[in-house]
Amino acid sequence: MRYGLIESMRRGYPVALMCRVLNVCESGFHARRVRPPCERERENKRLEVEILATIASTIYAAILCKIWSRLKQMDSIFDSTHQPPF
């Protein structure tokens, strides 16, 4: 977590200073940057993508339901036999 903070702030502050303040080794920070992500980081990224996709599809479905409902209220061409297309 400390290395992530340093990474996010490295354009505004010297890395050496942040490492000293956060009590971490500067060489560890640089080593972490070139090291491939561990299994946990890869799994977290995969879950993040899956969660965001689920949220997006849920929002999309809610928007479709709202649109369908409003169209039915606005226009009488829809009768009770029409079903939403989702």
Pick the closest to residue 14 from 32, 29, 31 (CA basis): 29
Angle subtended at Cα 80 by Cα 76 and Cα 85, rounded to the nearest 5 degrees:
90
Same domain, 28 and 13: yes
DSSP state of 37: P
pLDDT value of position 77: 57
Same domain, 81 and 51: yes
pLDDT value of position 83: 64
Instruction: Return the CA Rg of the chain.
Output: 25
CA pair distance 45, 22, nearest whole angstrom: 26
- The pLDDT profile of the chain, 86 residues, written as one tens digit per residue, is 788 899 999 999 999 999 999 999 999 999 988 889 889 989 999 999 999 999 999 999 999 988 888 887 776 555 556 666 65
- Positive or negative, the Cα torsion across 80, 81, 82, 83? positive
Domain that holds residue 73: 37-86
Same domain, 83 and 53: yes
